Amino acid sequence: MKIATWNINGVKARIDTALQWLAEAKPDIACFQEIKSVDEAFPAAPFEELGYHVATHGQKGFNGVALLSRQPLEDIQRGLPGDDTDEQARYIEATVSTDGGALRVGCLYLPNGNPLGTEKFPYKLRWMDRLIAHARTRLAEETPFLLLGDYNVIPEPKDARNPKDWLGDALFQPESRNRFRSLLNLGFTEAVRASTDAAETYTFWDYQAGAWQRNNGIRIDHILLSPQASDLMRGCGIDAHVRGWEKPSDHVPVWVELAA
């Protein structure tokens, strides 16, 4: 089973690219972030024609997440628990049945947190605290669980081509990175780094200043696996070539293969 995550940076602007990638990569489950669409306006039909069931948690013009699955999506949860006043659409979760049982999949678009010195950074940290609490609850269930998405966190200096450029950015602040480590330390396996320790392993290249052409990238899109999911892991990859397509997102897909 192939499960992927991709910040598509606008589903309507990127619909042709998304369909091209789905036809090429053929993931069983795809987690999209930044769909930038309310639920009722999400263009589900083209994805359904490819054989996917679709669930969304959208918001007009900003944020928004979606789950696509070849198997029916069950027990769908929209929104991250812990703050009923949070109106930003950043989390969706569902169960997917497999030959071996079932998987629980959480798709997240973690707050960016910039600029520092505004309420956006404390909001990011509070959101991460809520994610840690929710993840702890899911892990206690001892079923295969994956947390995939755009984490907006650069975990280590080697995850940026030029780490010094990010010292004043919310993605690379000690508080953000510490919380990411706290999440991992609950017992998750970070799929990419479990597969490779190579430098220049990136998932995002800015549109500005020829970042893609100069490979000035960062790694902020991550797949975390519970111990039960980690036992099923058979491979992992980054479809970096998609960044070179026409009208690309500034992110690229990241995927994991499970024996499920």
Question: Is 150 one of the catalytic residues?
Answer: yes
For residue 147, what are the β-bridge partners? Answer: 106, 224
- Respond yes or no on whether the N-terminal peptide bond of residue 174 is cis (omega within 30° of 0): no
The pLDDT score that the predictor gives to residue 100 is 83
Q: What is the pTM of this model?
A: 0.98
Q: What is the CATH number of the domain that holds 247?
A: 3.60.10.10
Task: Pull the structure tokens for residue 194.
Answer: 């479990």
As a whole number, mean pLDDT of residues 212-222 equals 98
The pLDDT score that the predictor gives to residue 66 is 98
> Is residue 49 very low, low, confident or very high in pLDDT (cuts 50, 70, 90)?
very high
For residue 6, what are the β-bridge partners? Answer: 32
As a whole number, mean pLDDT of residues 220-245 equals 98
Comparing CA positions, the residue from 231, 237, 238, 239 lying closest to residue 258 is 231
CB burial of residue 70 (10 Å; 0-12, 13-18, 19+): middle
Q: How far is 259 from 11, CA to CA, in rounded Å?
A: 30
Name the active-site residue from 52, 91, 109, 151. 109
As a whole number, mean pLDDT of residues 82-105 equals 96
Residue 107 in contact with residue 134, Cβ under 8 Å? no
Question: Is 197 one of the catalytic residues?
Answer: no
Name the active-site residue from 28, 52, 150, 169. 150
The pLDDT score that the predictor gives to residue 47 is 98
Task: Pull the structure tokens for residue 230.
Answer: 């980690």
As a whole number, mean pLDDT of residues 8-15 equals 97
As a whole number, mean pLDDT of residues 126-140 equals 98
Q: Where do runs of H (alpha helix) occur along 26-173?
A: 44-49, 120-140
- The domain total for the chain is 1
Q: What is the mean pLDDT of the chain?
A: 97
As a whole number, mean pLDDT of residues 136-153 equals 98
Other Cβ atoms within 10 Å of 86 Cβ, number: 16
> Is residue 260 very low, low, confident or very high in pLDDT (cuts 50, 70, 90)?
confident
The CA distances from residue 66 to 42, 177, 203, in Å, are: 9, 25, 19
Residue 255 in contact with residue 239, Cβ under 8 Å? yes
As a whole number, mean pLDDT of residues 89-112 equals 96
Residues 55-77 pLDDT 10s: 999 999 999 999 999 999 999 99
Task: Pull the structure tokens for residue 119.
Answer: 């309420």
Enclosing domain of residue 59: 2-258
Q: Where do runs of H (alpha helix) occur along the chain?
A: 15-25, 44-49, 120-140, 174-184, 191-195, 227-230
